[in-house]
Structure 1
Amino acid sequence: MLTSFFKHKLMPAITFHNIEDVLPVTNALQEGGLDVMEITFRTGIAAKAIELVRKNFPEMIVGAGTLLNSEQLAIAVQAGASFGVAPGLNEKVIGTAAEKNFPFIPGIITASELEKALTLGCRLVKIFPCNLSGGIGLIRALQSPYAHTGIQFIPMGGINLSNLHEYTALNIVLAAGGSWIASEELIGQKGFDIITENVRCSIAITR
């Protein structure tokens, strides 16, 4: 199921501080041609933001990001999120996601964490913080011994328009994620047209 969400190989991570920004940002993403987004649980309005998107843009696939515990995951499921994402590997959260049949992407950064993810049944993992930990070189190093397992990666951290192609050109990378499409600064400035253009540029790069 998860692999079908990322046809453009992109997963924008959106952090909302004001509820009035939710619909304009979602519209800007959609206008650019994107139908998937991750709303991070870094602010108290994340669940409400997911509910708003699901109600007003039912065709948008909404993930819940920065899920650090089982309680947050349960809230995300209740809000209508289609999948969850975490920066790290938490066995309890992975177990809760499995119990709820909720598609979940844990975060890893080492070979040992990757092997643990595989043991727990995860075949799609977020690599974070990717660019600070070796970037494209790290992915290539992990790809050699683990590609045969069917694992796929979503690198996040330090990815932008200038290096996006390096990541998405690798077959083991299902999608690249980050805030460059709709940063907190852009949202604060109401730069919705720029967000739309960032989506279009990103899609052009990943084709």
Structure 2
Amino acid sequence: MSIKVDTIIKIKESKIVPVFYHSDLEVCKQVVKACYEAGLKVFEFTNRGTFAHETFAALNRYVLEELPGFELGAGSIVDAPTAALYIQNGASFIVSPLLNAEIGKICNRRKIVWIPGCATVTEIGNAHELGADIIKIFPAAQLGGPEFVKAVKAPCPWTDIMVTGGVQPTEENLRSWFDAGVCSVGIGSALFKKEWLEAGDYKKIKTAISEAMAFIK
């Protein structure tokens, strides 16, 4: 099995892709450990802060040494040079809020999973032609929520969709997305509440993820 195919399978099996950034490496380590212990296999580290790629590189070394089988991807990637930087630092997949063909070329050349953000069926079609295996609908809630996913899947049932933006780790919300046909959901602040992070209460993060995964199953 190729590394790329293995990553796609892990994203589909995990169902939840945590979306997170923090400037403190130790906080990041504890967060990814909580996700790993809850049973997740993938994690999206977002490129949002100064020297974020350096934090990612150090975090990825920790993951490779301490969390076997766990994969880090890089999110909020809007241009090809930044994608290349994160791939060089070991990113298993690249997630974007938009569709940029140059990012697709970089990922395809390196056989890295690319998940571009799309908001129309035309963008989704173009993303497929550019080699995207999974399509990110973003911002999902604002684009019409589960009904938008259903509308896309009707003429394009082969499209694997990950939704990000407005997803909540509740049984009702998760059921609506998966009933609509998504293969995975990206969840950020709803899983990593500010007060939990400030208190260093990573058990609550682990519990929240475990409960969300149970809802999906």
Distance in 1 between residues matched to 2:124 and 2:48, nearest whole Å: 25
Which amino acid is 1:110 matched to?
A: T
Does residue 99 of the first structure (1) align with residue 109 of the second (2)?
yes
Aligned to 1:119: 129
Aligned to 1:175: 184
Runs of 4+ in 1 over 3 A off after TM superposition: 183-186
Distance in 2 between residues matched to 1:110 and 1:201, nearest whole Å: 32
Aligned to 2:9: 4
- CA shift in 2, pair 1:105/1:140, >3 Å: same
Distance in 1 between residues matched to 2:208 and 2:86, nearest whole Å: 27
Shift of 1:187: 2.7
Q: Which of 186, 208, 215 is matched with 1:205 structurally?
A: 215
Deviations 1:159-200 (A, max 9, x none): 012311211233x31111121222455334323011001111
- CA shift in 2, pair 1:41/1:51, >3 Å: farther
Q: Give the alignment of 1:26-45 within 5 angstroms.
A: 26-43=32-49, 44=52, 45=55
Shift of 1:101: 1.5
Aligned to 1:25: 31
**Aligned alpha-carbon RMSD (Å):** 1.7
TM-score under structure 2 length normalisation: 0.87
Distance in 1 between residues matched to 2:76 and 2:64, nearest whole Å: 19
Distance in 1 between residues matched to 2:185 and 2:144, nearest whole Å: 15
Distance in 2 between residues matched to 1:42 and 1:200, nearest whole Å: 26
Shift of 1:50: 2.8
Distance in 1 between residues matched to 2:159 and 2:8, nearest whole Å: 11
Of structures 1 and 2, the one with the larger relative CO (CA 8 A, separation 6+) is 1
Query: Structure 2: which 5+ runs fail to align?
Result: none
Aligned to 1:128: 138
Q: Which of 141, 155, 166 is matched with 2:163 structurally?
A: 155
Are 1:54 and 1:62, in contact at CA under 8 Å, matched by a contact in 2? no
Percent identity over the alignment is 26
Are 1:70 and 1:92, in contact at CA under 8 Å, matched by a contact in 2? yes
Secondary structure of 2:65 counterpart: helix
- CA shift in 2, pair 1:41/1:55, >3 Å: farther
